[in-house]
Chain A
Amino acid sequence: MADLISLDFILLVIAGWLFLGCCGLFVIKRTGFVTQFLFPLGAVLGVILGIIGLVSSFDSPQYAVLPLGLPNLPFHLRLDALSSYFLLVLGLVSTGVSIFSAGYFKSSGGSTPGLLCFEYHLCLASMALILISDDAYVFMLAWETMSLTATLLVMTNSRSAEARRAGFLYLLISHVGALALLLCFGLLQANTGDYTFSNMRHQNLDLMWASIAFFLALFGFGAKAGILPLHIWLPEAHPAAPSPISALLSAFVLKTGIYGVLRVTFDLLHIQVWWWGVATLALGLATALFGVVLSTVQTDMKRLLAYSSVENIGLMFVGIGLTILFRAYHMDVLSALSLTATLYHVAGHGAFKSLLFLGTGAVMHATGERSLAHLGGLMRYMPRTAWVILLGALAAAGLPPLSGFVAEWLLLQSFLFTPELPNSFLNMLIPIVAAVIALVGALAGYVMVKFFGIIFLGQPHEAKLYYASDADHWELFGFSWLVLACLLLGLLPVQMVSLLGQVTHLLVGHNISSTIAHNGWLMLAPVSEARASYMPITFVLMLAACCTLAYLLVRRLYHGRFKRSAPWGCGYPFLNARMQDTAEGFGQPIREIFGVFFRMTRELPTAFDKAPHYKVEIEDPFWGLIYRPIAAITERVARIVGMLQQGRISVYLLYSFMTLMILLMVVTR
């Protein structure tokens, strides 16, 4: 029984979260109690979950069967390295978000705090249950609970039509995805009638059925993660939800999709085929490029971050695709390397994206504005938030020495080691893919400069911003937790990679951590030092030393005098805030270059207009390409079916009678 101790603790944490949620229901309107007591307690449970995840990564898999649920359908649970790692990320992210929520929900409209607390903790508990479930039944149960609670959380502000619409869209797409998952599990159990994952692991599906199962899983989990063209709910749901909820959605709900794909592809299916990898790679690449390009032209700060999440999910799928490709050719070191990059990105993105979303929450609290066109200059009024968000933005831009860079570095390394693939067509594909990845990385930098620069730098676009107040202590505490995560993930990649070694060992049968540990704890060298190495701590120390020395020497040899004066205005005395670049202006070059990526309607004023009016609207092209046609078809079918419904009871009786007749004819024949 001693083996089971981590799994038991995780069940206790889940129960604790459920308990906190139920407590919320009893004190439904007492804002103070809910925010100052229940949310911080939830954060403590998050820390505990993270620690258990960390510790149990190194243990062998643990199993448990809980006699809950329907008769003869007990809950099968299993805790292995993959679940431990995702539990660690869940604990890490949820702690930051819960602490921040303690400050954020003190004053915000929408659902009553108790209800919110219930939905939030239920969502956390269901996500933890997804990660430890070991049969399709409990998996789908937890999966649906997560979808439903997430929908309710998105619709917190249910009085706005935008939030209701976003919630509906999210629910619709997750259910289409869930349908695919049901079919996928149905295939995986291969007519045995036994839906436990341990049974699925032992089935040897033939290539066709395995492929169908794989693509169903890709579709179903992709709908949750937001791959093209199922990403459509992200830019709607993220802006509509309260910021901590957007943070949780982006930082972890999307990652459950990644977890699912990894679980099905590398654990439940026994083969991996190269063209699955190519398909996933292509899909991921398209998602990443599309996401980042759309993100540069957004004018709503949360929508911008939502598209940036689409980009990051795309990069993770690129990593998964590469892993499948290498795995299909039995190149264990490389598949372990690209899987490590993917998993690293899961944690890195979780940390910096939740930080950025929480930052938008602090900005919205202070100003009530979400549109970039009305913000600006907040660094002067919210300095602490600004510095924190700057760190998050640098990590999101994939710049050294922060967390985003390590994942990108590992991913690019796995591309560079590719040339040994036995298929020359694939070998040719690799440089093109690497080039697109580099382009996506550079564009992410563009996005983040736009995001930070327009919100925090320059002159405030509106007078009310002068009264913006900085984040409160709960919010700052939440920020610091996530900043710490970003820094540690950026500076201690060796420790992190050796943790991931357990997961890669489980999934692709190889562990690169021994090669890495060989070079000491400072140096990240996945294959050998001569091939590639990166030492973030040395890097950052040297950079700091160079900057400090430059500062001290300039002060010592010259002076530190300065004067204040008005900025230079080319002799024009009436400079104002409307003369600086807007969010639209900042996106303009990208709009010109990547015009094919979106549908743009633009109204330009002419020289003779009495009231000149300029308007640009950018729409996701997938609405026009896929969703509107589907909606139109559905509506038309509904109208045809609707003709049957006359609303008169006599007609309905006629229908029943006719159905009965037909059935009788079938039976008696």
Chain B
Amino acid sequence: MISYSGYFSQLLEIVVALASAPLLTGWVNVCRAWLQNKSAPSILMPYRTLHKLFNKDSILANDASPLFRMVPYIVFGCMTLACSIIPTLSTDLPLSPAADTIALVGLLALARVFISLAAMDIGTAFGSMGARREMFVGFMAEPALLMVMFSSSLITQSTSLTGIVENLVHRELAIYPNLAFAGVAFTMVSFAENARIPVDNPATHLELTMIHEALILEYSGRHLALIEWAASMKLFAYSCIGIALFFPWGIAQASNPLALILSIPILTLKLGIGGALLALIEMFSAKMRIFRVPEFLATAFLLAVIGMLVHFLLGA
């Protein structure tokens, strides 16, 4: 049933995700430096950091259990699988029926649970605080993300991401009010989930407000490299989910294999714009107190639910 072109596009997607995720992180950093009138680091900086970290010895705490050493690989595996399920380049993916949006959210939650458990493993104050905060952000962001995806499923009558993309591309251009709500909610969730500025600050260490950095404080060497790589793949995955749900035009389909060639520059363009916007929003917002985060996330959650309600109200 599935043609070789399907396997090819699947493989291409995984390679593109693995290779270009650090580039996206680099691009966001460059944009932010420009906006802040600083001299920008090279866009390839994340690759150099990863290479440096991979070469270093890993230092494990005395009491670290095997779970602690396994988690970087599990998290990395989860993010790779997530990137291969999301239709970034093509909808002709043999892996796509394996997991729909609910399973995708479950996969991201699996990664979150594992990294939180690893943070609690050593038993330092920072680690367990980070784990608690990560789960705390997660328990509100996860249902909000699910509701955002359901908003699209209601329009397209499908919970499979490829199904959503194929359906949305073939519709005539129309503005769906519920997608507008979902879009705002999705942006807020992505900021929270990727540890970006209003919720967490990726540029600082050792503040009492940190979340992501507190989680991975005990990791070093190749383990840290894998986790950092997985974090940039998470950003890539979220950006691609956003593209698939709200700007799906340009993603190749099974009927037209040549579009696959065109889809790479289109994706680059979209991610470039998205990364610049991300840096811009980060520039204009201030870091929130951790106690304000629930309000932020509850707003996102409610917006997503209102989006679904609007769908029923307007009978779209």
A interface residues with partner B (beta carbon < 8 Å): 376-377, 379-380, 383, 390, 394, 397-400, 405, 408-409, 412-413, 416, 419, 424, 427-428, 430-432, 434-435, 438-439, 441-443, 445-446, 448-450, 452-454, 457-459, 523, 525, 529-535, 538-539, 542-544, 546-547, 550-551, 554, 557-559, 561-570, 575, 577, 579-581, 585-586, 588-590, 592-593
Contact = CB atoms under 8 A, between A and B. Distances in A.
A532 B226 contact: no
A534 B98 contact: yes
Interface in B187-233: 206, 217-218, 221-222, 226
A311 B98 CA distance: 28
Interface string B109-132: 110110011001111111111011
Contacts of A399: 106, 109-110, 113
A55 to B, nearest CB: 32
B140 to A, nearest CB: 7
A435 B77 contact: no
A67 to B, nearest CB: 52
Contact of A554 (B77, B218, B222): B222
B55 A453 contact: no
A424 B312 contact: yes
Nearest to B97: A533
Nearest to B106: A400
11 contacts: A379-B65, A397-B113, A400-B106, A412-B102, A442-B143, A445-B109, A453-B116, A533-B160, A562-B57, A592-B294, A593-B294
B150 interface: yes
A531 B167 CA distance: 11
A439 B95 CA distance: 28
Contact of B117 (A434, A457, A534): A457
Given A457-B123, A533-B160, A539 B226 contact: no
B15 interface: no
B103 A409 contact: yes
A567 to B, nearest CB: 4
- SS class, residues of chain B in contact with chain A: helix
Contact of B113 (A380, A432, A445, A569): A445
B210 to A, nearest CB: 13
A563 B64 CA distance: 11
Interface in B261-303: 291, 294, 301
B132 A458 contact: no
A530 B74 contact: no
B143 A581 contact: no
Interface in B118-166: 120-129, 131-133, 135-136, 138-140, 142-143, 146-147, 150, 153-154, 157-160, 163
A557 B55 CA distance: 10
Nearest to A460: B123
A422 B153 CA distance: 20
Given A530-B158, A559-B222, 11 more contacts: A427-B312, A449-B113, A449-B131, A459-B123, A531-B160, A532-B102, A532-B160, A533-B100, A543-B107, A563-B60, A581-B128
Contact of B76 (A405, A546, A585): A546
B73 interface: yes
A449 B65 CA distance: 16
In the A-B complex, the 5 residue pairs with the closest CB atoms: A458-B123, A581-B128, A438-B143, A547-B77, A431-B308
B99 interface: yes
- SS class, residues of chain A in contact with chain B: helix
B217 to A, nearest CB: 7
Nearest to A565: B59
A390 to B, nearest CB: 8
B313 interface: yes
B67 to A, nearest CB: 7
A392 B146 CA distance: 24
Nearest to A576: B123
Contacts of B143: 435, 438-439, 441-442
Contacts of B217: 568
Given A435-B305, A459-B123, A550-B76, A566 B61 contact: yes
B58 interface: yes
Contacts of B63: 377, 380, 459, 567
A448 to B, nearest CB: 7
Contacts of B57: 559, 561-563
Most buried by A among B62, B95, B99, B311: B99
Interface stretch (B26-34, B78-86, B238-246, B249-257): B78-86
A547 B74 contact: yes
Given A435-B143, A563-B60, A453 B128 contact: yes
Contacts of A428: 309, 312-313
A405 B106 contact: yes
A171 B259 CA distance: 69
B54 interface: yes
A380 B61 CA distance: 13
